[in-house]
Every structure is written in structure tokens, then in C-alpha cells.
Structure 1
């Protein structure tokens, strides 16, 4: 049975190959269409990357389950001891616009825990990696989060999270809101201290956050759902109830400042 480091090596190789495929379509006006139920855009590049990853990863680990944004749901994954959790291109809108802020997010769950994770930005050649017992690395160098106070903190989140109704007493803390198109990348940016926190107050798909959550944790950040609970992966709904990713002190300050979940 391969261990987490073996799985990490496999994910790393696969992510770099995915990047080569994605860059063939990037800035080349790829075919694009909207998913059903207002689920956002998808391109021929998303599907090409997904197919290549499925072939490589499932051939290498045929007993592992498979959960990907661009694959039909397969309930048999719930019975597997290990499961791939994949977003072939996270930040598809940025990809379509010819921007650099898209990534490949690849993770492996054992039970409901992530044990190996890679987030790769091919247009920038930035590779984040972590295994459950190893360090979090950016292009081979260790990373660590900041642990700022909430006042003036740089928080990667969407505009609506700044609305007063989400915060105790109807008062939004004086943090500085920032944004990057790939959610997986946002978690990694918080993990490496380039920003102080990543925050989402709405449910997040597992494929967007599985890899980034382990990278953040191994860097020394706390990565929880919006209530401060442990994230659990390879779940039937494949969703997590929001997220807070930050150094321990800032994480506590954000959690204390939020209105009880369900408000806002």
C-alpha cells in the first residue's frame, strides 16, 4: 500500500502534466459553455485536464475512489478507503479571461482526512505541496502563516462576507478585503502568509478546498469550517460548511467576531 509521500509524488507529477495541458488552451480562445443550474462556466480545457488526470491517477491507484468537479458523481467513492478529490481547473473564469490566477487542486483523502495535497498554478509555475506528516512547501521551500490581529488584517474573501449581517452586533471588523479567483490558491496564500486569512461564509465544494486545507494545516494555520469545526472530506454531499483559514490567534478572533451560523 503506498504511503502519503508516495501519493504526494504521484499528485505532484500529475499536477505538472495537467499544467502542460491547460497551458495549451490558455489564451487560445477555448470552447466555453455554462453548466446547468447556474453552476458556472466550463471549458474544453477543464474536461481535457480532468480526463488526463483520471487516466493517470486511476491507473496508478485503481482502488481509490474518485471525486472531481468535472466527473459524473460515483457513489462507490464513499466505500473506498482512499479517494482522489480533484478540481481540474479552479478559477475557470480567470482561465477564460487569460489571467494567471487559476490552479489545479489535487488531494487524496483517507477516510475523511486529507493525507496528500498539491495546488499548482501553471501560468506562474508555483507549486504548493503537503502530506499529512510532512511540511507545507512552496516550490520546495517551507511556508508559514502570519498571525495578525483582525484589525487591519488582509482577508481573502468575496464581497458579501463584508456585509454587517454576518458579524456580531452588525459591525464588520476593520479587516481589509482582498480577492483571488482560485479558492484553492486563496487557502495557500493564507498558508504562506502573503495574506492573513482566507474566509468563506457559504458552503464550499470539497474539490475547491481539500488540497489547500491540508497545505494550510501543515504550514501551521488553522483550517476549519465557518463554525470552527473540523473539515471532513469525501462526504456524501461533497461540501463543507464554509471555511476559516488563518494563524491561530486571528482564526480565534474571526470566529469570535462572526454572528452565529445561520444569521446574515
Structure 2
């Protein structure tokens, strides 16, 4: 089943990407969602297409999308789709290439198939729970770094506030990409040693990327070091840390959650 779902998600992501590119750099309409940031007409068009394609193919699956009202029906489903039609909407609005389509299938609380597609770069990341993590069909391997000092980590400056690090703010090489899903995939590629966000993270932003990073050999957890679980009644995780195993352990120690 994960392989069949992965094929479906891959097809859906490419359809979604083509729709997104019709609006990209074309000054799409933008609205502000209270407390959630901007949404564009492209987000909604992509979401509509994905809902139609995916729910026709798997009508028994539950549904959790950033751009649809959430309900409780998904909690009783054996499998659910978890998706962000455009992750990195601000980058999309700015005409940057760093936005992504993030699609996952979750079963019993864990992702079993995931796709992150960057339409403007035509770059495709995929994984299943039992298969390799691939970028454009080629295997990926996460970093093997063990040292915290000097590690290249994708994060925002507020995540390095001293009050968040009882063990001392780590001396990192800080980088940033707009899409949280893509940050997880960049860790999977080994292009960065890790990523972290200490703020609560929506499931639709991280489900696919968390699977891809883990299957590439990264250790992935919430900010407390606990495994990520999905399809929660309130679909947020307590932050995300994805990093080379040794680096992940070192970051948790600095955060006061390791040994």
C-alpha cells in the first residue's frame, strides 16, 4: 500500500506544481488568515485540485489540509492525507523558488508515504516508511556530523534566543529556507547537518519531510526529543528537530532534554 500511495502522491504533487506555476510571479490575489499568515488564490486552487484527485482515488482516507476546515472524522480513519498545498507561501508571493507542495499519507500516527515537490526547481523528494529516501529518483544520505559547534543548521534567529537553551546557545552556522518541508528534505540530502524549529509546528508542514529525513538516516523528533506522532486532535507537534544522530543528541543536551 505505501508504494501505491507514493505513486499517487507523486502524481498529485506534479499536478499541484503545474497549477502553482500558473500563478507564480503573476501577482496572485493574497489574503491574510488571522494568526496563520497569508494565503493566495494559488494555495486555494492547488488545494481544490488535490482534494479532487486524492479523495477520488482514496475516498476512505481521512483529510487534513492547511486550506480546509478541520473536523473529527479523520480521527477514526485508518489512513489520512496530510498536506500543505503550498508550503512557503511568503516565498511564493515574493517570486522566490523555495516553495513546496507537501503531501503525506499517515497510518496509525506515523507517515508511511511522503512527497515534497518544489515546482519552480522541478525537484522531487520521496520516501515510504520501508523504502529509501530519494531526490529525483536518487538515494539520499543525511549528514553524519557529531559535533555541535560549527554545524550547519536551518533555523530562524528567534530559535537561538538564550532563554531557550539552558545548556548554552550552540555555536552554529545558521541558514534559512522558507519552506519547513524543504528544510527537512535538505537535511535528508546532507546539504545541511540539521534543522530545528522550537515553535509548535503544524502537521501539514512536517509530515512528509519528517518521513523523508528519517529514511535518509537523520534522527527526527519534537523539541523535547520525543517521536513525532500525527493525526492528533489538535494537529501540531511540539517543534521539530531533524539532524545527524550525534548532532541531534548534542542539541537536545543544550536544550536541557538530553543526557
Does 2:199 match 1:202?
yes
Structure 1 spans left out of the alignment, 5+ residues: none
Question: How does the TM-score come out when normalised to structure 1?
Answer: 0.96
Deviation per CA, 1:15-65, whole angstroms, max 9, x where unpaired?
0000000000000000001012x2100000000000000000000000000
Offset of residue 260 of structure 1? 5.2
**Distance in 1 of aligned mates of 2:26 and 2:256:** 45
Residue correspondences, number: 257
Question: How does the TM-score come out when normalised to structure 2?
Answer: 0.97
Which one of the candidate residues 159, 162, 185 is aligned to 2:160?
162
- Gap change, CA 1:97 and 1:5, over 3 Å in 2: same
Does 2:151 match 1:153?
yes
Does 2:22 match 1:14?
no
Offset of residue 109 of structure 1? 0.4
**Distance in 1 of aligned mates of 2:251 and 2:94:** 33
**Distance in 1 of aligned mates of 2:204 and 2:3:** 20
**Distance in 1 of aligned mates of 2:45 and 2:160:** 36
Aligned to 2:112: 115
Aligned to 1:246: 243
Aligned to 1:27: 25
Deviation per CA, 1:209-240, whole angstroms, max 9, x where unpaired?
00000001110111111111110001100000
**Distance in 2 of aligned mates of 1:147 and 1:211:** 22
Which one of the candidate residues 214, 217, 242 is aligned to 1:217?
214
Given that 2:225 and 2:257 are in contact with CA atoms closer than 8 Å, whether structure 1 keeps it comes out as no
Offset of residue 259 of structure 1? 3.5
**Distance in 1 of aligned mates of 2:243 and 2:188:** 7
Does 2:71 match 1:80?
no
**Distance in 1 of aligned mates of 2:164 and 2:142:** 25
Offset of residue 111 of structure 1? 1.4
Aligned to 2:89: 92
Structure 1 outlier segments of 4+, above 4 Å? none
**Distance in 2 of aligned mates of 1:128 and 1:39:** 26
**Distance in 2 of aligned mates of 1:128 and 1:256:** 30
CA RMSD after TM alignment: 1.0
